């Protein structure tokens, strides 16, 4: 037998660690490089948030097998952990108590990847050359070689800016002191910053909704706290989700709780609010739309920008990567996750085939594989890395097999599909380009998609 193939895995988040577990099971040699001083560095930033998926959906099967051998006390599959619990009960024991421990290198930020002896332009013999991965670990630049690379570095560290055009709003950099990105812990660590303040939250995804619900809670304890919801679209109801139809009950409840707070006027809503300018207003912040001084504006104490994330593509620049021009995800994945087409957000499982690149042996996985699309679930990532590890190990049959049925968002059911088609009533077959039965049928008839949430 020859030496085990090495697989460099970038990022020790839930998906990177699952990738390492699958690689080990396949007899591969994983090398996990994590930028943070600890594993799960990104999850730690939102440790206060309760997940909308229960434990059953958050644990990778290969990781569970590794943990079982250590006498691990598996959490109740029906309970919903917080990010911190995900770390304490699952990711930390996985990284420290199992055979993965010796494969993980923390404080190791990957800065560049190429192939030994080949720049991007050179073709002949390229696929046989190992990857060369450069990283910084506090003692300067280091290099490691690997036969394959799985980039599971997530998108948490590159949030989208406030500007509606995708650029930083004019004045955004200068206003940095009054802006937070993502999901600050407004009821805990960051309470003093937000209590009693007028706080605008920009965005319409789960992060924005979760933060606004927390701010409304804060307002019951500190009544001068005023949450304002700034959304770019014209229909607030689109953010309320599938409610009781969502197969992930906690996700549905989050939307329903939010809808009730909006209806009760405990959260002020400003729709069609496309931020273009941020400017100081005494000690406060003027958040404006349109050309300077011409559009609508609100004056707030703090702005929380929760407009999603984008992948950091700098360190893969020397690799042959093809991405969808709008979503910035692998091209074959784009039709499955494009939020412009998939109103219901239910994504069918996929693996190595959809994630493969023109650079043989290189794969995006996890949150980063979705590029700018917002609907990623850990469970999807676990299926991705199961398939990728199989492909790297040369087991094509296992790589092609789909071993997962994803929970549906139920968002489509809100306004349609009470008929036999059951939009979001069942995922489309894996061979079909569609997120659900009705979506696949609509596409077969030449329409763009089921569009039933519109």
Ligand X SMILES: Cc1cc2nc3c(=O)[nH]c(=O)nc-3n(C[C@H](O)[C@H](O)[C@H](O)COP(=O)(O)OP(=O)(O)OC[C@H]3O[C@@H](n4cnc5c(N)ncnc54)[C@H](O)[C@@H]3O)c2cc1C
Beta carbon of residue 81, minimum distance to ligand X (angstroms, whole number): 9
Best CA proximity match to 389, nearest among 3, 23, 31, 4: 23
Nearer to ligand X, 75 or 171 (CB): 75
Stretch that binds ligand X, among 142-150, 231-239, 349-357, 371-379 (CB under 6 A): 371-379
Nearer to ligand X, 49 or 327 (CB): 49
**Is 367 an interacting residue with respect to ligand X (CB under 6 A)?**
yes
Best CA proximity match to 163, nearest among 154, 155, 148, 175: 175
Beta carbon of residue 282, minimum distance to ligand X (angstroms, whole number): 32
Q: Which of 163, 227, 236, 366 binds ligand X (CB under 6 A)?
A: 366
Tokens of 328: 């910035």
* Contacts with 266 (C-beta within 8 Å, 6 or more apart), sequence order: 216, 219, 227
Question: Quick check: 279 and 175 in contact, CB under 8 A?
Answer: yes
Question: Quick check: 402 and 383 in contact, CB under 8 A?
Answer: yes
Beta carbon of residue 232, minimum distance to ligand X (angstroms, whole number): 19
Beta carbon of residue 397, minimum distance to ligand X (angstroms, whole number): 26
Stretch that binds ligand X, among 333-341, 345-353, 378-386, 438-446 (CB under 6 A): 378-386
Nearer to ligand X, 211 or 276 (CB): 211
Nearer to ligand X, 351 or 366 (CB): 366
Nearer to ligand X, 435 or 452 (CB): 435
Alpha-carbon 277 to chain mean position: 27
Identify the helix (H) or strand (E) that includes residue 303.
strand 302-305
Binding track, positions 8-27, relative to ligand X; x by CB under 6 A: --xxxxxxx-----------
For the chain, how long is the longest CA-to-CA vector?
Answer: 72
Site size toward ligand X (CB under 6 A) is 37
Strand ranges, E, within 119-166: 131-136, 141-146, 148-151
**Is 345 an interacting residue with respect to ligand X (CB under 6 A)?**
no
Beta carbon of residue 207, minimum distance to ligand X (angstroms, whole number): 5
Question: Quick check: 289 and 273 in contact, CB under 8 A?
Answer: yes
**Is 81 an interacting residue with respect to ligand X (CB under 6 A)?**
no
Q: Which of 376, 390, 413, 423 binds ligand X (CB under 6 A)?
A: 376
Helix (H, G, I), strand (E, B) or coil at 85: helix
**Is 120 an interacting residue with respect to ligand X (CB under 6 A)?**
no
Q: Is 302 left (phi over 0), alpha (psi -120 to 50) or beta?
A: beta
Nearer to ligand X, 218 or 379 (CB): 379
Nearer to ligand X, 218 or 406 (CB): 406
Nearer to ligand X, 43 or 436 (CB): 43
Q: Which of 207, 211, 346, 384 binds ligand X (CB under 6 A)?
A: 207
Binding track, positions 288-317, relative to ligand X; x by CB under 6 A: ---------------------------x--
**Is 156 an interacting residue with respect to ligand X (CB under 6 A)?**
yes
Beta carbon of residue 443, minimum distance to ligand X (angstroms, whole number): 26
Hey, what's the torsion of the CAs at 342, 157, 134, 137, to 10 degrees?
Answer: -150
Best CA proximity match to 55, nearest among 7, 88, 23, 31: 88
Beta carbon of residue 293, minimum distance to ligand X (angstroms, whole number): 35
Nearer to ligand X, 40 or 288 (CB): 40
Nearer to ligand X, 107 or 286 (CB): 107
CA distance 182 to 108: 24
CA distance 351 to 366: 11
Nearer to ligand X, 34 or 147 (CB): 34
What residues from 27 to 56 belong to the interface with ligand X (CB under 6 A)? Answer: 33-36, 40-43, 46, 49, 51-53
Stretch that binds ligand X, among 112-120, 287-295, 336-344, 373-381 (CB under 6 A): 373-381
Identify the helix (H) or strand (E) that includes residue 45.
helix 41-45
**Is 110 an interacting residue with respect to ligand X (CB under 6 A)?**
yes
Nearer to ligand X, 144 or 402 (CB): 144
First to last CA, the chain: 57
CB atoms within 10 A of CB 221: 11
* Contacts with 47 (C-beta within 8 Å, 6 or more apart), sequence order: 82, 83, 84, 87
Report how far apart, in Å, the C-alpha atoms of 241 and of each of 204, 212, 373 are. 10, 15, 16
Q: Under the rule (CB under 6 A), what is the footprint of ligand X?
A: 10-16, 33-36, 40-43, 46, 49, 51-53, 109-110, 152-154, 156-157, 183, 207, 315, 366-367, 376-379, 381
């Amino acid at each position: 037998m020859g030496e085990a193939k090495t697989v460099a895995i970038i990022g020790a988040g839930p998906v990177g660690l699952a990738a390492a577990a699958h690689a080990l099971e396949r007899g591969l040699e994983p090398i996990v490089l994590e930028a943070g001083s600890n594993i799960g560095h990104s999850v730690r930033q939102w440790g206060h948030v309760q997940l909308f998926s229960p434990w059953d959906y958050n644990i990778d099967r290969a990781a569970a097998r590794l943990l079982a051998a250590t006498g691990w006390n598996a959490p109740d599959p029906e309970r919903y952990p917080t990010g911190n619990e995900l770390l304490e009960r699952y990711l930390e024991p996985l990284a420290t108590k199992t055979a993965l421990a010796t494969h993980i290198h923390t404080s190791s930020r990957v800065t560049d990847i190429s192939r030994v002896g080949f720049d991007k332009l050179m073709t002949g013999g390229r696929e046989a050359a190992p990857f060369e991965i450069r990283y910084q670990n506090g003692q300067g630049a280091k290099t490691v070689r690997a036969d394959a690379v799985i980039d599971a570095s997530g998108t948490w560290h590159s949030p989208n800016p406030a500007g509606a055009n995708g650029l930083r709003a004019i004045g955004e950099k200068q206003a940095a002191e009054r802006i937070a990105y993502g999901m600050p812990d407004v009821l805990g660590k960051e309470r003093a910053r937000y209590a009693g303040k007028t706080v605008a939250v920009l965005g319409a995804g789960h992060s924005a909704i979760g933060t606004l619900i927390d701010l409304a809670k804060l307002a019951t304890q500190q009544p001068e706290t005023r949450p304002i919801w700034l959304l770019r679209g014209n229909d607030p109801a689109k953010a309320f989700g599938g409610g009781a139809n969502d197969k992930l009950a906690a996700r549905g409840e989050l939307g329903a709780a939010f809808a009730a707070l909006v209806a009760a006027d405990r959260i002020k809503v400003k729709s069609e609010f496309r931020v273009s300018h941020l400017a100081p207003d005494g000690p406060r912040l003027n958040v404006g739309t349109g050309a300077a001084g011409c559009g609508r504006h609100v004056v707030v104490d703090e702005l929380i920008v929760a407009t999603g994330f984008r992948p950091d593509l700098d360190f893969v620049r020397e690799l042959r990567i093809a991405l969808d021009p709008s979503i910035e995800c692998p091209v074959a994945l784009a039709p499955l996750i494009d939020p412009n087409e998939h109103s219901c957000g239910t994504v069918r499982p996929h693996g190595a085939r959809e994630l493969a690149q023109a650079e043989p042996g290189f794969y995006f996985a996890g949150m980063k594989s979705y590029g700018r699309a917002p609907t990623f679930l850990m469970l999807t990532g676990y299926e991705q890395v199961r398939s990728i590890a199989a492909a790297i190990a040369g087991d094509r049959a296992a790589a092609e097999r789909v071993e997962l049925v994803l929970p549906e968002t139920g968002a489509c059911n809100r306004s349609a599909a009470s008929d036999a088609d059951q939009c979001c009533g069942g995922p489309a077959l894996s061979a079909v380009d569609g997120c659900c039965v009705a979506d696949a049928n609509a596409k077969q008839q030449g329409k763009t998609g089921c569009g039933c949430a519109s």
